[in-house]
Structure 1
């Protein structure tokens, strides 16, 4: 059996102490996550992060750095994901932009509000990426090569 990690991107968007999260349906439950998704064929990692953020939140953002590269095996299905997490600043909200199937909507939340929703996190990576961001883990975008 061939094994390979699923390549995903995620984006941390922070504005005045609040983080842009996505409420989405996963496994029959409404959960919270960063805007995130799978890399598509012939797409750069940076383009994937911008696309997923817009498709899941209706926000255009400017990527400002890389927060980290994470390897995560989901306990629910045993699938291993390699997540490249970017940080970004919000540019413009497009409220009429259609959101992906399964997306309930975007939410701006503080870290404390996110902690209060722990039972609804898509995965532990949600807080880990935010905490890495808050601790100053910001690497230049030039780290990512096409």
Structure 2
């Protein structure tokens, strides 16, 4: 049996103490997640974070740092994910863009508002990435080599 972890990116986007989340269907329920997705062939981690954020939220963002690198095995299916989480600031909303079909919508929440909806988190990584962003340190984007 071949074990192959899935490489993913996620982006913590802050605007005046509120954070951008996506609402998506997973396992028959509506869950909250950072804009996130899989690295595609011939794509850098930075490109993947920008692309996934735009596709899932219609926001162009400026990446500002690396929050952390996480290894997570999903209890629901045993799949292992390596998540590289970035921080970003919103630059421009493209309201004419159609969101990924898996995305039901987007919402801006404070940390406390997200915590009050803990039962809706796609995984514990959602809160962990946000808390790591808030507690710091953020790492330079130069950490990521292309």
Instruction: Check whether TM > 0.5.
Output: yes
What does 1:66-145 align with in structure 2 at a 5 Å threshold? 66-145=66-145
Structure 2 residue aligned with 1:2: 2
Local SS of the residue matching 2:78: coil
Inter-partner Cα distance in structure 1 for 2:102 and 2:81: 20
User: Structure 2: any 5+ residue segments left out of the alignment?
Assistant: none
Backbone CA RMSD of aligned residues: 0.6
Give the number of aligned pairs: 146
Deviation of 1:67 (Å): 0.3
Mapped contact 1:68–1:137 kept (Cα < 8 A):
no
- Give the alignment's TM-score, normalised by structure 2: 0.98
Deviation of 1:79 (Å): 0.2
Inter-partner Cα distance in structure 1 for 2:111 and 2:63: 21
Structure 2 residue aligned with 1:20: 20
Structure 2 residue aligned with 1:11: 11
